[in-house]
Structure 1
Amino acid sequence: MKRYLVLEDGQIYTGEAFGDLGNQIGELVFSTGMSGYQQSISDQSYNGEILMFTNPLIGNYGVNDKDLESLKPTTKGVVVTQLARKTTHFEMTQDLDEYCKSHQIPGIKGVDTRAITKHIREKGAMKAAILNDISDVSINDIKTATNENPLIPTSATKEAYPAPSDGPRVVVVDFGLKYSILRELAKRNFDVIVVPPTTSYSEIMKYGPKGVMLTNGPGDPSDVTEATLEMIRKVEKEVPMFGICMGHQLFALANGATTFKMKFGHRGFNHAVRTLENGKINFTSQNHGYAVERNSVYNTDLEVSHEEINDETVEGLVHTKYPAFSLQFHPDAAPGPHDADYIFDEFKELIQRNQKENLFNA
């Protein structure tokens, strides 16, 4: 069955259908990862986006239950050059076509994803539609289409839930978290309570946390309410705080910095990041379309701690007064390199040090 990928600038690419047979509109983004398609599609940070893979063959090891990053993916569509005809893996429970059908995600195969990626890199991020017939939607429909706004409430938990252990308690504020973050916290024996993004400062502190984490999530960070930013400002004065991806951007906004929409974002698992303190370079997993404006950091109580080597965008921040920090990249990886997973150890060490020395009165 023929299917069409139509970009808002009028470009049309013809391929074949897989997955769900419905039409869909979303922002077209690309990932340069050579594997990890299952984790990417189930990552809530792709809420509202059509995900295109530059690697020419996708789906060869199917989908399994162990490596999902959420139970209900919100990715709008999937674009590949070639969908594997034969999938084999001892843990697989479905092939990619079956997985997309079961979650109402339309796919298109048989298009040159690298050529489309070059087009996006030149023209910038844009909306697109996956269509069964060109006449189903007009270019104007694509341009004016909007996602549910903001996206975070459709990705995050609506009720608090625990992941208990006998270690220090960490409250995880869920803006659309990846399960890999919870896995890394579990490895370090944290007693975790996951709470909705609307949870107030007073509600968080009732749990008696020794640390607070702000997770990744989808959409524009400026869509988040002032109440959430006020919660961050209050919590960072009480317990150690660690933000990842969206959490990093919200940490910046709460402390007076600003964010901007990138031309085409960072999505993939080969982004080199420099730690400014010691010059160490890690390869990192990234998925974001917004970034912190570097110049806006200078008149705040924040300092830039990490930068992307290629475009020098801000990849990390530290607070100069409180034991709080954030990272734009994913130290939890999943998929991607685990170069930076030691940062979870540093978060635990920061919590333990605060319990011994009370860093807030230092």
Structure 2
Amino acid sequence: MKYQKRQNAIILLADGTIFYGKAVGNKQGTSFGEVCFNTGMTGYQEIFTDPSYYGQLMVTTNAHIGNYGTNADEIESDSIKIAGLICKNFSYDYSRDAADSSLETFLNDNNLLAISDVDTRALVSYIRDNGAMNAVISTDVDNVDELKKQLAEVPNMNGLELASKVSTDEPYYFGDENATYKVAALDIGIKKNILRNIAKRDVYIKVFPYNATFEELSNWNPDGYFLSNGPGDPEPLKEAQALAKEIIKRDLPLFGICLGHQVIAIANGVSTYKMHHGHRGINHPVKNLVTGKGEITSQNHGFAVNREEAESHPDLEVTHMHLNDHTVAGLAMKSKNCFSVQYHPEASPGPHDSSYLFDQFIENIKKSK
């Protein structure tokens, strides 16, 4: 297949800008979403299956994608969550003992459209200058006017509720039922490695749907509560915000990551906003303002917490700061057992600098018992 002449393809941005490429394999079609980029050198399989990327067209800045294949154990959800892939060089052949399949097979099994041979350096530079925006990738290169009409109908990510698209339909359990501690987790786009990191700290987890109530979570009598990462705008997540308010009011141990961090901020009356092009990669520098230490972190978010409002809030402390743009990377409540971070301490993919945050959560649970 890789020796066949591949079909031309285009990336059409919402402002009318067009980039050109080739369809990966013999896959044809059209896919819409918000175009964004990830700066990670590795971890493409984990990135593609991260629910936080639901509905996004992923541009990978690393020049080679697919060269180490895929492994069934290296997924973060039950399926690919990105809307499409845009890359420079796509590797049809792979070389890794642990791989059980090629990336091409993995994409085909998930019916995902991918485009390669794209000048991703120019595309990423354009996004950095002009911001993340809706786009369409398509092999229907002779029908640009129709693609423009269809693209105009795609809703903007600002104000878009997507947690319901990726959350579990029914509660489920994770970990050892004989573990010392119990944590109730709200799934607004949870990654499997977050569950693994919590469970390996002697915790049994019950995962609840995105719209579960405090009564439903508390009826399980957990020792702590967790709000997960996830896609979309946190503002429409009224059920999750109400849940966070109830947990905070009762001063129960609460930990939030990424979208969960933003929900906790809103529950405290602090607003969020859509970023120009977001933070997505496994090399983002963060400073822990409490310890003074630096961390290299894994990040994936297009919204952020209003720093001015957070700093002026009488019961909030900004605990972590992103060193590239000084956005809020972590919060803690001064009078409640609650903290959150904007990045991904589960490091899948990414560095392990921030894994201590899971230990901090367990310590908070121990202190509350």
Q: What's 1:145 paired with?
A: 154
- Measured after TM superposition, the shift of residue 93 of structure 1 is 2.2
1:132 aligns with 2:144: no
1:344 aligns with 2:349: no
Residues in 2 aligned to 1:15 and 1:125: alpha-carbon distance in whole angstroms: 20
1:209 aligns with 2:235: no
Q: What's 2:270 paired with?
A: 257
1:123 aligns with 2:136: no
- Measured after TM superposition, the shift of residue 117 of structure 1 is 0.3
- Measured after TM superposition, the shift of residue 348 of structure 1 is 0.7
- Measured after TM superposition, the shift of residue 101 of structure 1 is 1.2
1:7 aligns with 2:13: yes
Asked if the contact 2:92/2:104 (under 8 Å) is kept, the reply is no
Asked if the contact 1:48/1:147 (under 8 Å) is kept, the reply is no
Q: After alignment, is 282-291 or 180-189 more displaced?
A: 180-189
Residues in 1 aligned to 2:29 and 2:155: alpha-carbon distance in whole angstroms: 17
Q: State the SS of the aligned residue for 1:91.
A: coil
1:114 aligns with 2:125: no
Q: State the SS of the aligned residue for 1:68.
A: coil
- Aligned mate of 1:95, from 97, 102, 106: 102
1:28 aligns with 2:35: yes
Q: Structure 2 length as normaliser, TM-score? A: 0.93
Q: After alignment, is 249-258 or 4-13 more displaced?
A: 4-13
RMSD between superposed Cα atoms in Å: 1.4
Unaligned residue ranges in structure 2 (runs of 5+): 1-6
1:78 aligns with 2:85: yes
Q: What's 1:286 paired with?
A: 299
Asked if the contact 1:184/1:344 (under 8 Å) is kept, the reply is yes
Q: State the SS of the aligned residue for 1:61.
A: coil
**Change over 3 Å in CA distance of 1:201–1:348 after alignment to 2:** same
Residue identity matched to 2:168? T
Q: What's 1:229 paired with?
A: 241
Asked if the contact 1:257/1:300 (under 8 Å) is kept, the reply is no
Q: State the SS of the aligned residue for 2:241.
A: helix
Residues in 1 aligned to 2:216 and 2:39: alpha-carbon distance in whole angstroms: 40
- Aligned mate of 1:190, from 203, 225, 228: 203
- Measured after TM superposition, the shift of residue 266 of structure 1 is 0.2
Q: State the SS of the aligned residue for 2:173.
A: strand
- Measured after TM superposition, the shift of residue 238 of structure 1 is 4.0
For 1:233-244, what aligned pairs fall within 5 Å after superposition?
233-236=245-248, 237-244=250-257
Residues in 1 aligned to 2:208 and 2:192: alpha-carbon distance in whole angstroms: 14
Residues in 1 aligned to 2:89 and 2:184: alpha-carbon distance in whole angstroms: 42
- Measured after TM superposition, the shift of residue 186 of structure 1 is 1.9
Residues in 1 aligned to 2:125 and 2:193: alpha-carbon distance in whole angstroms: 30
Q: After alignment, is 70-79 or 239-248 more displaced?
A: 70-79
Residues in 1 aligned to 2:173 and 2:147: alpha-carbon distance in whole angstroms: 46
Residues in 1 aligned to 2:213 and 2:195: alpha-carbon distance in whole angstroms: 21
- Measured after TM superposition, the shift of residue 278 of structure 1 is 2.1
Residues in 2 aligned to 1:113 and 1:347: alpha-carbon distance in whole angstroms: 39
Percent identity between matched residues is 38
Deviations 1:207-255 (A, max 9, x none): 1111001000000111212x32121111122420000000000000011
Q: State the SS of the aligned residue for 1:30.
A: strand
For 1:272-351, what aligned pairs fall within 5 Å after superposition?
272-297=285-310, 298-351=312-365
Q: What's 2:4 paired with?
A: none
Deviations 1:179-231 (A, max 9, x none): 01011012211011111111101111101111001000000111212x32121
- Measured after TM superposition, the shift of residue 128 of structure 1 is 1.0
Unaligned residue ranges in structure 1 (runs of 5+): 356-362
Q: State the SS of the aligned residue for 2:98.
A: coil
